[in-house]
């Protein structure tokens, strides 16, 4: 029983340490990343593969809740017609811990031909996806767990960065409580 408790605690400690490390690493790249989102005249499209897509969907939903027009799109359908959703005023934000996800790189190569701006969140600032991007933020972590491979700290840190990004965008865009209320007309938040 003690070993099992230690496993749970170790994972949580590693995730909390990853968030502290991420907070300490925030610099002007993160501000420029947020400004690039604020400058977008079209839609913000979030994408990623596997767990990164789940995190991308959550960040997209959070930004939508503050009035930033965003939608998550899985990369595979983008290669089978959904690229038609994009126009040159849009911005695609790609999430990939390795920054080397083949499917995502293939999609981003197609996105580039449409003159759509690419931003990225990766665990490696020198990765292919980071280099393809107009702006990229490195979110480098070490995964928790016995194998060091299960998406744990990387997904937690990317999701937390998305939350921080939303907080900063409220400031950059000058959003008010009335703006927030307009996007939450029902439920406890509206009260």
**pLDDT tens digits, one per residue of 12-22:** 999 999 999 99
Residue 9 lies in a domain: no
The pLDDT of 32-47, averaged and rounded, is 97
Decide: 152 and 145 in contact? Cβ < 8 Å: yes
Instruction: Tell whether pTM > 0.85.
Output: yes
**pLDDT tens digits, one per residue of 115-169:** 999 999 999 999 999 999 999 999 999 999 878 888 999 999 999 999 999 999 9
Q: Is the pLDDT of residue 190 over 80?
A: no
Residue 78 lies in a domain: yes
Task: Say how far apart CA 66 and CA 50 lie, in whole Å.
Answer: 25
Residue 191 lies in a domain: no
| Domain span at 80 | 27-183
Residue 87 lies in a domain: yes
Phi, psi of 185 (to 5 degrees): -75, -10
What is residue 181's predicted lDDT score, i.e. its pLDDT?
A: 73
Residue 117 lies in a domain: yes
Phi, psi of 24 (to 5 degrees): -70, -20
Residue 33 lies in a domain: yes
Phi, psi of 21 (to 5 degrees): -60, -45
Residue 118 lies in a domain: yes
pLDDT tier for residue 29 given thresholds of 50, 70 and 90: very high
Question: What CATH number does residue 83 fall under?
Answer: 3.40.50.10490
Number of domains in the chain: 1
Residue 22 lies in a domain: no
């Amino acid at each position: 029983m003690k070993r099992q408790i230690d496993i749970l605690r170790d994972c949580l400690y590693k995730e909390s340490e990853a968030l502290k490390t991420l907070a300490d690493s925030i610099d002007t790249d993160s501000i420029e990343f947020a400004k690039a989102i604020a400058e977008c005249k079209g839609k913000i499209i979030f994408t990623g593969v596997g767990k990164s897509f789940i995190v991308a969907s959550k960040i997209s939903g959070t930004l939508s809740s503050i009035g930033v027009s965003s939608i998550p799109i899985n990369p595979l359908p983008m290669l089978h017609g959904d690229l038609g959703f994009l126009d040159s005023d849009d911005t695609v934000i790609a999430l990939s811990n390795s920054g080397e996800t083949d499917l995502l790189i293939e999609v981003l190569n197609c996105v580039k031909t449409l003159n759509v701006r690419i931003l990225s969140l990766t665990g490696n600032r020198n990765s292919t996806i980071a280099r393809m991007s107009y702006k990229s933020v490195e979110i480098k972590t070490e995964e928790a767990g016995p194998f060091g491979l299960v998406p744990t700290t990387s997904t937690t840190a990317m999701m937390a960065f998305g939350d921080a990004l939303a907080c900063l965008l409220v400031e950059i865009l000058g959003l008010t409580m009335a703006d927030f209320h307009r996007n939450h007309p029902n439920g406890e938040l509206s009260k």
